[in-house]
Structure 1
Amino acid sequence: MHYTEYDTRLAVYAVLVDEQDRILLTWFNGGPRGLRPGWSLPGGGVDFDERLEDAVVREVYEETGYAVTVGPLLAEHHFSGRQESGRPFRSQRLLFAATITGGELGTVERDGTTDFARWVPRSDFPLTEHTAEIVQLAVERAWNPQI
């Protein structure tokens, strides 16, 4: 299918791991379209003409309260489907390593799709609650970056 025949959503996410062997996750509340709530990574859609790194910094701050510096690309993931209108779409997701440089834990966005963020120990995986596919990818790459 030619790229003019579908829409693309570009999204970026941060993979943040601390010295206590925990990863920072966010709780996606399902949003206005009533999608399934569950765990995700701090991140989201890239605004038009926004640098990828700037989008990571913005999204992490909005969803977690932390300021970060962006590291290397760890992984990419995509899925495709159909919008409510029937038009095909592709969701392209990029996962970046990141390091906290300031701030404190607490979601600062209002009326958004993230209710809260939480540090989750590596030993808690797999989680019992619904978890986005990119979380498993992040867990694999965070503790096995050579994959």
Structure 2
Amino acid sequence: MHFTEFDTRLAAYGLLISDDDQILLTWFNGGGRTEPGWTMPGGGVEFDESIEDAVAREVFEETGYTVDVGDIVAEHHFTLPRQGTRRPMRSQQFLLTATITGGALGTTETDGTTDFAAWVPLGEVTALHPRADIIELALDVLRQRNH
């Protein structure tokens, strides 16, 4: 399919790991469109911002932390078919490392799709349900780093 025949959504997420092996996750409330569940801090890239700027903005909105954004460590994409009058869509997701430079844990967005953020021990993440595919991607990255 030619790129003019479908919509594209860019999304960028921050991978934040504490010194005591906890990962920073957020609770997505579904926004009235989909099922709530655990995800990574991040989301849609605005039209005029870089992927790195999107991670910094989203992490602050969803967790209260300011961050220095590092490298892209993984990417993933999926497609959705045409639904009613909506065109087919490609979602392109990027996972970037990030380091906290300030702020305090607490969601700063108002009327958003994130209810709260939490530090979760890495050993407990697989017991969380439901959880977004971006978390699986992050766990894969962490497993590869440990081998």
When normalised by structure 1's length, the TM-score is: 0.94
Tell me the percent identity: 58
What displacement does 1:143 show?
4.5
When normalised by structure 2's length, the TM-score is: 0.94
RMSD of Structure 2 on Structure 1 (CA): 1.5
Instruction: Report the secondary structure of 1:36's partner residue.
Output: coil
Higher helix share: 2
For residue 9 of structure 1, what is the aligned residue in structure 2? 9
Write the distance in 2 (CA, Å) between the matches of 1:112 and 1:69: 23
What displacement does 1:23 show?
0.3
For residue 140 of structure 2, what is the aligned residue in structure 1? 140
State the AA in 1 paired with 2:117: A
CA distance 1:38–1:4, change in 2 (3 Å): same
Moved over 4 A (4+): none
Does structure 1 residue 49 correspond to structure 2 residue 48? yes
Write the distance in 2 (CA, Å) between the matches of 1:49 and 1:146: 36
Write the distance in 2 (CA, Å) between the matches of 1:65 and 1:2: 40
For residue 73 of structure 1, what is the aligned residue in structure 2? 72
What displacement does 1:142 show?
2.9
Write the distance in 2 (CA, Å) between the matches of 1:142 and 1:97: 11
Instruction: Report the secondary structure of 2:127's partner residue.
Output: coil
Aligned residues: 146
What displacement does 1:84 show?
4.9
What displacement does 1:129 show?
1.5
State the AA in 1 paired with 2:44: G
What displacement does 1:127 show?
2.2
Instruction: Report the secondary structure of 2:137's partner residue.
Output: helix
